[in-house]
Amino acid sequence: MIESARKDKSVILAIDDTPNIIDTVKSILAEEHTVLAAPNAQVAFHVLAKRLPDLILLDVMMPGIDGYQMCEQLKANPETQDIPVIFLTAKSQEINETTGLALGAVDYITKPICPMTLKQRIKNHLMLKIAHDQLAKQNQMLEKRVQERTRQLNDLQDVALVAMGALAESRDPETGNHIRRTQGYVELLAKELAKLEQYRDYLQPEVITAMAKSAPLHDIGKVGVVDSILLKPGPLTEDEFEEMKKHTQYGYAAICAAEGSLGYADNFLIFAKEIAYSHHEKWDGSGYPQGLKGQDIPLSARIMAIADVYDALISERVYKPAFSHEKSVSIIEQSRGSHFEPLLVDVFLANADRFRQIAAVYQDNSSSQSNGINKQEAPNANNMVTSE
């Protein structure tokens, strides 16, 4: 690792192929600065490999690599690009100054060297470098704080979303880790869809993150459904089912209210509205609450539909036992093109084992979730895909 300059004295590297110039620079600066010397660019690079100076005095006309070429190399190297370079030259034509400044040099000093001019120019540029370094350090600290605060806010957002989802799910204690599992399914499906040309441009990483974060709110509207309907152990009557379906409207209204309080449309709230309102829509138009069909159903809701149904199938509910993973996959496959978008079903089938893995990670602490091995199926299992 390159040794940085000591802080008691500023370190100046003087590069010039004329010994008298080096001697002059040392005599002028030695009292206030530590002066390193090099007769050419090759030697200078060896010096720089061992120690970084605070400022470089660089002759323009040198054999081999000239001053302009060396300055260009210094500015291309992250280790040395911020070191101020002052050209020493006997040429004062404007075209030469323009060339050097364009390469990144901060100043020109013409030969013969005036001691007071050299000292004052070096002092000015060292002060500017100190200010630049302090500002860069402050910016790094600020960026680090911003990143940490952003992480904390994201964590708080995640916790709040899960807590809100859990509030709805707490009305039905058998669902347990349902919101965690469905969140994992949504993220998995979205990431796999993003690999396909049809969805690559839309499903950017930030969109997938927002979509997954909003998934826990898919059934937030259930807080508005009475227990006698929500927890009914048998089939719902037609009127009861109409009431149950209103949970999509309750959820949509609640999230719209939250969005209104926020004052702007955040991505995760946009997806939360779509998912809460439309995750019971069906590809063939037979779903609710709007009877949307095909691509008219928001993508987030189409993804949530598969995630929600798969988890409902493998989990015990008051109205059904838990089905095996294999049976659940089969039911979703049979609903390809009717309940679910065909392409999403294809992606689901290709990743069915990963769904099983997510379910295992967030398995309920009871016997209310199928582990995928030899569970007895209810005779009306194929109808469960349309149930709550």
pLDDT in tens, 90-123: 765 555 777 888 888 999 888 888 999 999 999 9
- Per-residue tokens: 366: 């009871």
Q: What is the CA radius of gyration of the chain?
A: 34
**What three-state secondary structure class fits 387?**
coil
Residue 367: its pLDDT value, please? 45
The correct answer on CATH 3.40.50.150 for the domain covering 170-386 is no
pLDDT at 5: 44
Residues 323, 384: contact at Cβ < 8 Å? yes
Q: How far is Cα of residue 119 from the mean position of the Cα atoms in its chain?
A: 48
Q: What is the pTM of this model?
A: 0.59
Average pLDDT, the chain: 85
Of 379 and 178, more confident:
178
d(CA 382, CA 328): 9
The edge-to-edge listing of strands for the beta sheet with 85-89 is: 33-38, 10-15, 55-59, 85-89, 107-110
Cβ atoms < 10 Å from Cβ of 258: 16
Cβ atoms of 248 and 289 within 8 Å: the answer is yes
Lowest mean pLDDT among 11-20, 92-101, 348-357, 378-387: 378-387
**Encoding tokens for residue 299?**
């993508």
Contacts of 332 (CB under 8 A, 6+ apart): 306, 309, 310, 313, 339, 340, 345, 348, 349, 385
Report pLDDT for 124.
Answer: 93
10 Å CB burial of residue 9 (0-12, 13-18, 19+) is middle
Residue 376 in this model has a pLDDT that exceeds 50:
no
Task: Give the tokens for residue 387.
Answer: 């149930």
* pLDDT computed for residue 159 by the predictor: 54
Rounding to the nearest 10 degrees, give the CA dihedral for residues 146, 150, 151, 155: 150
Chain segment 144-175, per-residue pLDDT in tens: 887 877 676 666 566 556 555 555 555 554 45
CA distances from 50 to 22, 79, 219 (A): 20, 12, 63
Length of the chain: 388
Nearest one of 106, 126, 108 to 117, comparing CA atoms: 108
C-alpha 357/C-alpha 107 separation (Å) is: 64
Q: Give bridge partners of residue 35 from the DSSP assignment.
A: 12
Could you give the CA distance from residue 39 to residue 41 in angstroms, rounded to a whole number? Answer: 7
Q: Identify each DSSP E strand in the chain by its residue range.
A: 10-15, 33-38, 55-59, 85-89, 107-110
Question: Could you tell me what percent of the chain has a pLDDT over 90?
Answer: 57
**Architecture category of domain 10-141 in CATH:** 3-Layer(aba) Sandwich (3.40)
Q: Where are the chain's structural domains?
A: 10-141, 170-386
300/271 Cα distance (integer angstroms): 6
Report the run of H or E that residue 96 belongs to, with start and end.
helix 94-103
Residue 228 neighbours by CB under 8 Å, 6+ apart? none
Residue 10 in this model has a pLDDT that exceeds 60: yes
pLDDT tens readout for residues 225-261: 888 888 888 889 999 999 999 999 998 998 888 777 7
Question: Do the Cβ atoms of 57 and 12 come closer than 8 Å?
Answer: yes
- Grade residue 385 by pLDDT with cuts at 50, 70 and 90: very low
288-340, pLDDT tens digit by residue? 999 999 999 999 999 999 999 999 999 987 778 899 999 999 999 999 999 99
Give mean pLDDT, residues 348-375.
76
pLDDT of residue 7: 54
Is 89 within 8 Å of 110 (Cβ atoms)? yes
Tokens of 352: 């069915």
